[in-house]
Amino acid sequence: MGSNSGKIYRLLVIDDESIVGKRLSQIFTRMGYVVEAYVDPVQALAAAAREPFDIVVTDLKMQGLDGLEVLRGIKKINAATRVIIITGYAEMDTADTAFSEGVFDFIAKPFRLDEIKDAILRAVADLDGKR
C-alpha cells in the first residue's frame, strides 16, 4: 500500500481509548494496510514479538506501559519499525526524549486525521527508501 515496492505494510495501533484504535483501523484498512489495534500495550508488544510490524502508532499515557516504554520495546523487537507517538500530553522534554530514542514522529492530540495519514505515508516512504 502506498509503497514503491508493492509491499503491504503491517500497522499496529495502541491506544487505551478503544475508539481511537477502531477509527484508525477502519481508515488504514481501507487504505490497504494490515492493521491490528490494542488497548493494552503489554498485549500489543506480545503481538509485535510474534510478528513484527512495519509501523506502530502508540498513545503516550496508558496503563501498564507508556508510549516511551512501547517505543523501546518495539525497537528491541525490530529496530527498523517506524514508531509514531500520539499524545494529549505533548511536552517538549518528552518529545525530545522520544526523538533521541528513535521515534519517527510525535503528534499532539487532538490531531487531524490528515496529520496521522501524512505521518504514515512518510513512514512508508522512509521504509521504501531504506529497502
Number of domains observed in the structure of the chain: 1
Could you tell me whether strands 34-38 and 55-59 are parallel, antiparallel, or unpaired per DSSP bridges? unpaired
Mean of pLDDT values over 31-57: 96
CATH number at residue 108: 3.40.50.2300
Domain that holds residue 115: 10-130
Q: Is residue 60 part of a domain?
A: yes
Residue 108 within any structural domain of the chain: yes
pLDDT at 111: 87
Residue 4 lies in a domain: no
Distance CA 118, CA 33 (A): 14
Q: Is the pLDDT at 64 greater than 80, yes or no?
A: yes
For residue 87, give Cα distances in angstroms to 3, 52, 60, 82, 94: 27, 23, 5, 17, 10
pLDDT at site 131: 54
With cut-offs at 50, 70 and 90, classify the pLDDT of residue 10: very high
Query: Would you state the pLDDT for residue 1?
Result: 46
3 found inside a domain: no
Question: Looking at the domain assignment, is residue 15 inside a domain?
Answer: yes
